[in-house]
Structure 1
Amino acid sequence: MLERPITDWLPITKKEVEKRGWDEVDVVIVSGDAYVDHPAFGTAVIGRIIESEGFRVAIVAQPNWKDDLRDFKKFGRPKYFFGVTAGCMDSMVNHYTANKRLRSNDSYTPGGEAGFRPDYATTVYSKILKQLYPDVPVLIGGIEASLRRVTHYDYWQDRLMPTILADSQADLLVYGMGEQPLREILRRLKDGYDFSGLRDIHQVAYLQKASDELPKWNEWETVELASHEVCLQDKIKYAANFKIVEVESNKWQANRITQLVNEDVLVINPPFKVMTETEIDASFDLPYTRLPHPKYKNRGPIPAYDMIKFSINMHRGCFGGCSFCTISAHQGKFIASRSEKSILKEVDEVTKHPEFKGYLSDLGGPSANMYRMKGKDESICARCTSPSCIHPVICSNLDTSHKPITELYRKVDEHPNIKKAFVGSGIRYDLLVDDFNKNNKDGNHDEYMEQLITRHVSGRLKVAPEHTSDDTLRVMRKPSFKYFKLFKKKYDQISDKHNLKQPLIPYFISSHPGCEEADMANLAAETKELGFRLEQVQDFTPTPMTVAEVIYYTGVHPYTLKPVFTAKTREEKQNQNRFFFWYKPEYRDLIRNRLNKLKRPDLANRLLGGGNAKKK
C-alpha cells in the first residue's frame, strides 16, 4: 500500500482525531463497510462531502455491536448528528443467498471475512446510538435505508415490515443519492437550525405524530398510501401502494407521500431533480486517497475494492426500470453524467496508483452505455410518469446517441499511460439493435459497437437478456429475446471481421415472477441452440422496492393487480434452475422426467436428444 500521512484519510480512531487537534467531532458516520476512501464507496463520498462543507467528521467502520459497545462511544457525542449506513449493500442481500443460506464471505471486509456487520445493520446501529445518546439526532441513509423507507416485504423474515424509521428510531432518512439533501442539511445546521427544521428538504423522510397537522411546505401536493396496518391485512392494497411510490420516485415534479404507521405518519418528501453535471463532478472530484485505510493493511485485501480500484464510474441512474432491479429505485431513472474533464481527471489519478499497470478494468456505470442519454425535450420528461424509458418500447423523446461515449472512450485511449480501457459493466444491448432502437438516425450505434468490440472487451462481453420467454420478459420489463439474437449476429460479424475471439456471456435469472417451468426449459433449449453452455445462473431474490418483490409477495402485478405465477417453494426453484445444466449427466433423467410430466417431449428432445453445444 502507498505510504501516505494518516491525515490524508478521514479519521477512524480517537488517536487520528487527536492528531488533527480536534477536541470534538461534528458528525460521526457509522458504517457496515470497512472504510475505503474511494468515490465508489458511499461512506467515503458522504464523509468527504461533510468535510467539504467545513465540518469535522469521523468514521466508525464495522463496529462491534454484539457485546462491547465502546466502538460506538470512541468519539463521544458529536456536535450535530450521527450518520448511519449499512454500507454499499442491503445487509440481508450481503449476508444471504437466494436460498437464504448464510454467505461465507463479505466483499466489503478486509480478507473477505464474514461476520463483521449485523443483519439489518442500519436498524441495529441506530438503536444502539439512540440507547447510548438518546438526545443526539440520528440520520440514516444508503441503499438499505433508501429501499426500506415505506412498508416493504422482507424475504428473509417472510413478512411485511414497516418503514425502517419505525424500527430504527432514527430522526431523519435520506433516500436515493444523498449529495443534494446532505449538503442542504449541513448548510442549515451551520445556520443554526435543529433537526426539526430540516423536514421541508427534498428527498428526506421522517415520522411525526398522526395527530399533528402536516406542514404546508413548498406547496407540495400529498398522496396518501394505504396504512401499514391495512397492508398487513390486504396484499392488494400493498401492491397498489408500490405503484404510487415507484411513479412518484421517478417524476420530476413529484408529490409528497404519507403513510400511517401505528400512531405515527410517515412523510416522504419529493426527490431533488437529477444532479447537474457540476453537482456530480463536485462529488467525484473530492480529495479521495482512492485507497483503503492503512489500518487494514495486515488483514488482507478488501475484495470489493480490488474489483473497482482501476475502474471509472461515468454516470449514475438507469432508465431501464427492470422489475427485479433496485438501481432506478435508489439512483433514479434520469441519468446524471459527469463531464469529460472530471472523468479524464480521474483517469489520470488512477494511472498514478502504485499498482497500476496500464489497464482500466471498467469505463462504465449502472448500465455502461447510457452516458449522456436524456430527453430531447425536457418538458416531456417533466410530465412523464413511466418507470422506464425503454419498455415496452424506446421513448421517441429519448436521445440514445452513443457519440459522446464513443468519443470519450477514444480520449481515454489516447492517455499515454493507458494500454487498455475495458468496459466491465453490463451494456444495454437493446440500445444497439436498430430493429428495437428506432432513434438511431445517424448510425453512431454501429460506430460505438466497433469501438467497443475492437478496443474495450476484456476477453468476453457481459450482457443480460435475463430470459427467452416473451411473457416473462414483459414482467421483467425487458425486450424480446429476438433482439438479443440480432445483437449477437451483429457482434459476431464485427468480431469475425477483426478476427477476434471474445465470446458473449449472457446472464439469465431463474424463478422470476412470470416464469413457468416450461419457460425455463425453453430458455435452456434456445441458449443451447445458440451455442451457449451456461455455467452461472442467478436465482431470483425478492429485494425491497422492486416490482418483482411485490409480485412475489402478493401474487399480483402492482400495475394491473392481475395474478402472476411465481415459483416459491424450494422444489419449484430447483426444478427451474436444473434446466440450465442440461449438459450434466446427473441431471439428464431428472430433466427428461420433468418434461414428460409437463407433456413437453419436444423440449426434452431439444435439450437431451443429441448434439453437443460448444462451450462459451
Structure 2
Amino acid sequence: MIIPLRPSDMGGLNRESTTFILYVSGAFCDNISPILSCLADISMKKNAPDLFSYPRYWAECFGVAPFLPTSRQEMEQLGWDSCDIIIVTGDAYVDHPSFGMAVMGRLLEAQGFRVGIIAQPDWRSADDFMALGKPNLYFGVTAGNMDSMINRYTADLRLRHDDAYTAGGKGGSRPDRAVIVYSQRCKEAWSDVPVVLGGIEASLRRIAQYDYWSNKVRRSVLLDATADILLYGNAERAIVELSHGLAAGKSVDDLWDLRGTVHIRQQPPAGFVELDSTRIDWPGNIDKLPNPYDFGNDQSGVDKLLDPTTKRCGADSSVAANSDQTRDEVTPIRIIPMPLKRKEKLTPETTYIRLPSFDKVAKDSALYAHASRVLHQESNPHNARALIQKHGNREVWVNPPPIPLETPEMDGVFGLPYQRVPHPRYGKQKIPAYDMIRFSINIMRGCFGGCTFCSITEHEGRIIQSRSHESILNEIAEIRDKVPGFTGSISDLGGPTSNMYFLNCNDDEIQSNCRKLSCVYPTICKNLDTDHSRTTELYRKARKMEGIHNVAIASGLRYDLAVKDPEYVRELVTYHVGGYLKIAPEHSEQNTLSKMMKPGMDTYYDFKKMFDRFSQEAGKKQYLIPYFIAAHPGCEDEDMLNLSLWLKQNDVKVDQVQNFYPSPMSLATAMYHSEKNPLKQVTYKSEPLYIPRDKDQRKAHKTLLRYHDPENWPALRVKLKEMGREDLIGTRPGQLVAPAEEPKRRENSRGAVKSGDRPRAAVRAAVKGKKSAASRPAKKRKGAGQSSVKKQQH
C-alpha cells in the first residue's frame, strides 16, 4: 500500500521536488503511527556492537599466522585445508596497517577466520584466482590502496609507467578497473561463492558516477562487477558483521540492512518511507517554503496527511483494495505540500531517498549534479537516510554510512599482529609505497575539511576517529624494535589531516543533526573543538621515548585550524619541521577558492606570520612549501593569471604542479561534468560554471603556475597575448615573463646577412596556443595583477 505524506523540513532535500511515499505491505490503515512504530524491526542500527565483542569463529584454534598465506604451501604449513575468506588485491601484500588488505585480513583473523591473500593475480585467466582453493565463505575484492585508474593514468590521461604499490615499482601489474576484472574472474573460478567488493575504487563508485577516463557516466560498479555486495568506506564494522552472518548460515540477501553496504534489489524493502528526489524543477508555483538546500538541523519529518472529509489516511482507494500489488505496478500520488500541523515524525532509519535513475543522470548532467549534492548531504552516519537509484529494472540500494569506530576499537585495529614488512615472497625487491611509510604512523582517520576536489570525506567520513596516546606510542616502540633499518626517526605522525587529531564537534547532539559539508568552510564552525593540546602532548611524549631522535610531521596540515592554537604551531615549528613544511592553499583567488571550499589567503598570511616568528625564536631557517591546483572547475584564465602574479610577487617557484583530476564521486567532478555548482541550489537555469576542459586550456593553466620555467616562456607569451596582456611581457618589476630574444643574424654562403628563422619550439607553441573552443574572454572582475591577495610578507 502507498500512503502519500506531506513533506516537512527534511534537511537538505529540495522539498518542492520531493514526493513522500510510505511503502508498506499489508492492509489499509487508519493511522500511520502503528506503521512507523513497527518499522523499528527493519531500521538501520545506530548503536553498533564493539568490533571485538563477537564470539570468535571456530577456526581461531589455528592461531595467528606469521603472514597471511599466499599459496597452498603456506596454508599447509599452517595446518589449513581451506580458507574461510580469500582477499584479492591489486597491491603487493605488505603486512602493515597502512595497507588495506592487511588491516582487513588481520581483523578477520582476530575474529577467528582463516584468511588467505591473492596479491596482484594474473587477470588474463581464472587460474591465479583458484590458487588457494575455494573459500568457505566469500572472496573479498579490492583494487588496492589506490583507484586503479588514477594509479595507471595521470590527470592529463597519460600512461604511468610506475606503480608504487608493486614490487620493483613497475607499472602494469593490475588491470584497469581492477575491481570489475577481479570480481568477474572470481565468479569464473567459483560461480557459487559470494564476491564482496571493498576499498576506495569500489567505495567511490557505489552509485552511478562520472568516469573521466571514458568521459561518460557509468553504472554502479556493483552491477558491472557482477558482485554480491559492496562495502564502502572504512569497512571494519560491515566486514565483521557480514563474515559472522555468513558463517552462521545467513545469505548475503539476509544481511541487506548492514550499514556501509550496497546491494542490488528488484524493489525497495517493505516498510520504508520514500523521499522522491528524482527531479530538480517543479512545474508551477507552490506554497512558499524555506530554502530546500539549507543545511538545517531539524531532522523531524512527516506530518500525517488526513483527508479533510473522511479523516482517514489519504490513500488511493484502488491501491488499498489491491495492497498486494508490487511497487512497480502502482503509480505513486504526488502530493503538493499542505499547511497541516505536524503530528508525526519520520526518523532517518525508516526512510530512503530515491535519486534520479542511472538512465536519467547519464543523459542529464544537471540531474547528475543534483544527485551528487543529495549524496554528499547524506554522509553523516547519525542522520543519513538510505539511498536508492534505479539501474534499468534493478535498484541499487545504499545503506547509511557506518558508525565511526571508538578510540578503543581504533586501538584494537592498529594493535593487531602486523609484521610491518612486505611478504617474504618479494625478496629484496623494493616496494616504493612501503618505503615511504615504513617509519610513519596513522594517528587518526576522517576529515571534516570538505574540499570539493578530494574524496577522503566520501570514503572515510567527516567524523574524526582517533587512536589513544598509548596505542600510538606502542606502535613507535614496535617500529623501533622490529622494523629493519630504523635509525631513530619517525617520518610522520599523521593521517588525512594531521592536526585534526581528536578534533570533533563540542556537542554530540549538534553533530548528530548536522548536514554541513564542512566544519571549517566558509569559516570555522563555532561548535568545533579547535584545542590541539592532545596533539601537542602526543608530540612531546613521542620525542621523549628512548631511541627516538626525531619525529616529523609530513601529513597535510590545515593551517586555518592551526592558527586557532598558537601553542600547537610553536611546538610544530620548533621540533617537528625539518626546514620545509608543506601546506595547501590550492589557489589565491576567491572565485576559485569558493568552488574548492578552501579558506581565503588572509588565513595563509596569519599562519605564515606565526610560522616565521616561531622559526626565528627557535633559531631555525625554515620555509613553507605551498601547493596549488591548476585548471580547477570554475577557475578562469584571469584567476590563474592573478595566481601566477602572486607567485612572482612572493618569489614562489612551484616545482610540482597538479592539474585538477576528476576523481569519481567528488563534488568538483560533478562540477566538471555538469558545469553546475552543486554547492548551491541546482536548477536548469543555474548559471553555468566555466570549466577549463580543453587540453590546451588545461596546459595553459599549468604553464601559468610554472611562469619561472624557461621551457614555458614561449607558450606563456602566446597566452598573455591571447588574453590581451602584453603589458606583462617584459623585464620590469611586476611583469611576468621576459620578451623573446631577437633572432640571431647569420651570414649565408654569399656573405649576406639575413634574419634567422623563428625557433621551432616557439612556432609549435604559437600554433598550439591559438584560441581553443574551450577558451573565452575572462570575466572583468579585476584588472591586471589586481589579485584578491596581498604580497606575502617575508
Please report how far the alpha carbon of residue 518 of structure 1 lies from its aligned counterpart in structure 2 after TM superposition: 1.7
Determine whether 1:41 maps to 2:99.
yes
Match of 2:140 among 54, 62, 83: 83
1:342 counterpart residue number: 471
CA–CA separation in structure 2 for the residues paired with 1:65 and 1:266: 27
Aligned runs of 1:282-293 on 2, under 5 Å?
Answer: 282-293=412-423
Match of 2:114 among 31, 36, 56: 56
1:240 counterpart residue number: 370
The 8 Å contact of residues 126 and 186 in structure 2, kept in 1 or not, is answered as no
CA–CA separation in structure 2 for the residues paired with 1:516 and 1:404: 42
1:426 counterpart residue number: 556
Which is higher, the Rg of structure 1 or of structure 2? 2
Aligned runs of 1:333-372 on 2, under 5 Å?
Answer: 333-352=462-481, 353-372=483-502
Report the 3-state secondary structure (helix = DSSP H, G, I; strand = E; otherwise coil) of the residue aligned with 1:306.
helix
Please report how far the alpha carbon of residue 528 of structure 1 lies from its aligned counterpart in structure 2 after TM superposition: 2.1
CA–CA separation in structure 1 for the residues paired with 2:606 and 2:726: 28
The 8 Å contact of residues 430 and 479 in structure 1, kept in 2 or not, is answered as yes
CA–CA separation in structure 2 for the residues paired with 1:229 and 1:80: 34
- What do the CA deviations read for 1:158-190 (whole angstroms, capped 9, x no partner)? 110010011000000000001111111122223
CA–CA separation in structure 2 for the residues paired with 1:338 and 1:277: 5
2:607 counterpart residue number: 487
2:595 counterpart residue number: 475
- Give the partner amino acid of 1:239: A
Report the 3-state secondary structure (helix = DSSP H, G, I; strand = E; otherwise coil) of the residue aligned with 1:173.
strand
- Give the partner amino acid of 2:351: E
The 8 Å contact of residues 251 and 384 in structure 1, kept in 2 or not, is answered as no
Match of 1:566 among 670, 676, 691: 691
- What do the CA deviations read for 1:211-266 (whole angstroms, capped 9, x no partner)? x6457599421100000011122111111001111111234221010000011000
Compared CA separation, residues 322 and 55, structure 1 to 2 (3 A): same
- Give the partner amino acid of 1:223: I
- Give the partner amino acid of 2:459: H
Report the 3-state secondary structure (helix = DSSP H, G, I; strand = E; otherwise coil) of the residue aligned with 1:588.
helix
More displaced 10-residue stretch of structure 1: 327-336 or 242-251: 242-251
Match of 1:200 among 257, 266, 269: 257
2:169 counterpart residue number: 112
Compared CA separation, residues 76 and 540, structure 1 to 2 (3 A): same
TM-score (norm 2): 0.73
CA–CA separation in structure 2 for the residues paired with 1:543 and 1:214: 35
2:289 counterpart residue number: none
Match of 1:556 among 638, 661, 676: 676
1:31 counterpart residue number: 89
How many equivalent residue pairs? 596
1:437 counterpart residue number: none
Instruction: Please provide the CA RMSD for this pair.
Output: 1.9
Please report how far the alpha carbon of residue 130 of structure 1 lies from its aligned counterpart in structure 2 after TM superposition: 1.2
The 8 Å contact of residues 248 and 254 in structure 1, kept in 2 or not, is answered as yes
CA–CA separation in structure 2 for the residues paired with 1:32 and 1:6: 24
Report the 3-state secondary structure (helix = DSSP H, G, I; strand = E; otherwise coil) of the residue aligned with 2:378.
helix
1:14 counterpart residue number: 72
CA–CA separation in structure 2 for the residues paired with 1:302 and 1:227: 42
- What do the CA deviations read for 1:73-124 (whole angstroms, capped 9, x no partner)? 0111111000000000000000000111110100000010111100000000
2:717 counterpart residue number: 592
1:376 counterpart residue number: 506
Aligned runs of 1:216-295 on 2, under 5 Å?
Answer: 219-295=349-425
Aligned runs of 1:93-242 on 2, under 5 Å?
Answer: 93-210=150-267, 213-214=269-270, 219-242=349-372
CA–CA separation in structure 1 for the residues paired with 2:390 and 2:203: 18
2:13 counterpart residue number: none
CA–CA separation in structure 2 for the residues paired with 1:494 and 1:366: 25
- Give the partner amino acid of 2:694: T
Report the 3-state secondary structure (helix = DSSP H, G, I; strand = E; otherwise coil) of the residue aligned with 1:506.
strand
- What do the CA deviations read for 1:373-402 (whole angstroms, capped 9, x no partner)? 011111111111111100111110000111
CA–CA separation in structure 2 for the residues paired with 1:166 and 1:60: 23
Please report how far the alpha carbon of residue 601 of structure 1 lies from its aligned counterpart in structure 2 after TM superposition: 4.7
1:545 counterpart residue number: 665
1:332 counterpart residue number: 461
More displaced 10-residue stretch of structure 1: 317-326 or 350-359: 350-359
Please report how far the alpha carbon of residue 602 of structure 1 lies from its aligned counterpart in structure 2 after TM superposition: 5.7
Match of 1:458 among 570, 578, 592: 578
The 8 Å contact of residues 177 and 331 in structure 1, kept in 2 or not, is answered as yes
Structure ranking higher in helix proportion: 1
CA–CA separation in structure 1 for the residues paired with 2:380 and 2:632: 24
2:620 counterpart residue number: 500
The 8 Å contact of residues 271 and 350 in structure 2, kept in 1 or not, is answered as no
Structure 2: state its 5+ residue gaps: 1-62, 274-347, 739-790
2:431 counterpart residue number: 302
CA–CA separation in structure 2 for the residues paired with 1:603 and 1:53: 66
CA–CA separation in structure 1 for the residues paired with 2:373 and 2:737: 45
The 8 Å contact of residues 95 and 102 in structure 1, kept in 2 or not, is answered as yes
The 8 Å contact of residues 204 and 664 in structure 2, kept in 1 or not, is answered as yes
Please report how far the alpha carbon of residue 531 of structure 1 lies from its aligned counterpart in structure 2 after TM superposition: 2.4
1:577 counterpart residue number: 702
The 8 Å contact of residues 671 and 677 in structure 2, kept in 1 or not, is answered as yes
Please report how far the alpha carbon of residue 587 of structure 1 lies from its aligned counterpart in structure 2 after TM superposition: 2.9
2:530 counterpart residue number: 400
- Give the partner amino acid of 1:181: A
- Give the partner amino acid of 1:567: P
The 8 Å contact of residues 142 and 179 in structure 2, kept in 1 or not, is answered as yes
Compared CA separation, residues 482 and 586, structure 1 to 2 (3 A): same
Please report how far the alpha carbon of residue 589 of structure 1 lies from its aligned counterpart in structure 2 after TM superposition: 4.2
The 8 Å contact of residues 254 and 271 in structure 1, kept in 2 or not, is answered as yes
TM-score (norm 1): 0.94
Report the 3-state secondary structure (helix = DSSP H, G, I; strand = E; otherwise coil) of the residue aligned with 2:202.
helix
The 8 Å contact of residues 251 and 383 in structure 1, kept in 2 or not, is answered as no
Please report how far the alpha carbon of residue 486 of structure 1 lies from its aligned counterpart in structure 2 after TM superposition: 2.1
CA–CA separation in structure 1 for the residues paired with 2:561 and 2:735: 31
Determine whether 1:524 maps to 2:644.
yes
The 8 Å contact of residues 6 and 16 in structure 1, kept in 2 or not, is answered as no
1:436 counterpart residue number: none
The 8 Å contact of residues 321 and 477 in structure 1, kept in 2 or not, is answered as yes
CA–CA separation in structure 2 for the residues paired with 1:83 and 1:91: 16
CA–CA separation in structure 1 for the residues paired with 2:398 and 2:601: 38
CA–CA separation in structure 1 for the residues paired with 2:102 and 2:585: 33
- Give the partner amino acid of 1:348: A
CA–CA separation in structure 1 for the residues paired with 2:543 and 2:490: 10
The 8 Å contact of residues 522 and 603 in structure 1, kept in 2 or not, is answered as no
Report the 3-state secondary structure (helix = DSSP H, G, I; strand = E; otherwise coil) of the residue aligned with 1:461.
strand
Q: Percent identity?
A: 43
CA–CA separation in structure 1 for the residues paired with 2:609 and 2:663: 34
1:515 counterpart residue number: 635
More displaced 10-residue stretch of structure 1: 249-258 or 568-577: 249-258
The 8 Å contact of residues 521 and 603 in structure 1, kept in 2 or not, is answered as no
Report the 3-state secondary structure (helix = DSSP H, G, I; strand = E; otherwise coil) of the residue aligned with 1:259.
strand
- Larger RCO (CA within 8 A; separation ≥ 6): 2
Please report how far the alpha carbon of residue 458 of structure 1 lies from its aligned counterpart in structure 2 after TM superposition: 2.4
Match of 1:322 among 435, 438, 451: 451
1:447 counterpart residue number: 567
Structure 1: state its 5+ residue gaps: 434-439
The 8 Å contact of residues 127 and 189 in structure 2, kept in 1 or not, is answered as no
- Give the partner amino acid of 1:536: Q
- What do the CA deviations read for 1:426-474 (whole angstroms, capped 9, x no partner)? 10011123xxxxxx4xxxx111111111111123101000000111001
Report the 3-state secondary structure (helix = DSSP H, G, I; strand = E; otherwise coil) of the residue aligned with 1:160.
strand
